[in-house]
């Protein structure tokens, strides 16, 4: 089981008095704190929000071996049970973190509800992910910045909020090349389309109006004005969506 790094995103210290724990997961190429901090700050003060990083991303140590989406989901379930300590615990993830969310939804363990953002039970094609893995091993994650800028953000976002967009793209350049490539290969092997309809917990699939990776026809709820990084592009709308869904599942 991969050894994942978890980061407290709500307040400075872990809270034992929180009514709900929300575990959040990152997009490929991002650190969870960079992607989720503004959204986490807008969620209810009675929630404890904790994020995990992909290997070689953000605070995560580089990967030392291959891993699967399901193995990451198992690691998240294991840690979440300890963090929650009997309290209600839910999950939300963006893109790769959303793929982990689908894996959690079909085998939820301690989780009582799941929100996936800019994700699908299968994302892209195996061939596309293997090609990207090979490209990153050759050219490095810095070579992904231009393409990621086009895929990640809705038209005009980088002009409206250059600080947020630039911070995410700068962090992409520091992601460990091999860890990124291994994450691509994990997505190549991931497909739970035949299991999602049997998920035993409430599941909300949402995505951006302008997302070209996971298109609006692949999700149940479309978030206006955003593309592939909704927690960064519109943290207010994303936080409202998560809060309303999770409160309705109580």
Q: Classify each residue of 71-86 as buried b or exposed e, where b means 16 or more C-beta atoms within 10 Å of its C-beta.
A: ebbbbbbebbeebbee
The DSSP element (H or E) to which 81 belongs, if any, is helix 69-84
This prediction's pTM: 0.96
pLDDT grade for 18, boundaries at 50, 70 and 90: confident
Each residue of 53-66: pLDDT tens digit? 999 999 999 998 99
What is the pLDDT at residue 14?
58
What's the rounded mean pLDDT across residues 2-15? 80
Q: Is 125 helix (H, G, I), strand (E, B) or coil?
A: coil
Whether 179 and 56 have beta carbons less than 8 Å apart is answered as yes
Task: Give the contacts of 111 (CB within 8 A, at least 6 positions apart).
Answer: 23, 77, 80, 89, 90, 91, 104, 105, 201
> Which pLDDT tens digit goes with each residue over 123-140?
999 999 999 999 999 999
Taken in order of first residue, the domains within the chain and their CATH numbers are: 5-248 (3.40.50.1820)
Whether pLDDT at 48 is above 80 = yes
How far is it, in rounded angstroms, from Cα 206 to Cα 220?
6
Please state, rounded to an integer, the average pLDDT across all residues of the chain.
Answer: 96
């Amino acid at each position: 089981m991969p050894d994942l790094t978890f980061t407290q995103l709500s307040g400075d210290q872990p809270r034992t008095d929180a009514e709900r724990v929300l575990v959040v997961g990152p997009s490929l190429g991002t650190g969870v704190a960079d992607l989720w901090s503004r959204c986490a700050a807008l969620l209810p003060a009675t929630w404890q929000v904790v994020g995990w990083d992909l290997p070689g991303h953000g605070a995560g140590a580089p990967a030392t071996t291959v891993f699967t989406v399901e193995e990451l989901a198992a690691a998240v379930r294991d840690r979440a049970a300890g963090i929650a300590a009997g309290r209600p615990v839910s999950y939300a993830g963006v893109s790769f973190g959303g793929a982990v969310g689908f894996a959690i939804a079909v085998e939820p363990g301690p989780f009582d509800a799941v929100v996936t953002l800019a994700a699908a039970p299968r994302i892209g094609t195996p061939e596309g992910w293997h090609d990207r893995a090979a490209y990153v091993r050759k050219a490095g994650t810095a070579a992904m910045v231009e393409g990621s800028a086009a895929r990640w953000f809705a038209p005009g976002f980088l002009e409206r909020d250059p600080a947020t967009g630039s911070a995410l793209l700068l962090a992409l350049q520091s992601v460990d090349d091999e860890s990124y490539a291994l994450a691509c290969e994990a997505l190549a092997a991931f497909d739970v389309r035949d299991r999602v309809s049997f998920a035993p917990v409430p599941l909300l699939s949402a995505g951006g109006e302008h997302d070209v990776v996971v298109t609006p026809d692949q999700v149940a709820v479309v978030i206006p004005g955003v593309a592939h990084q909704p927690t960064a592009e519109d943290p207010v709308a994303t936080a409202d969506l998560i809060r309303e869904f999770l409160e309705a599942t109580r």
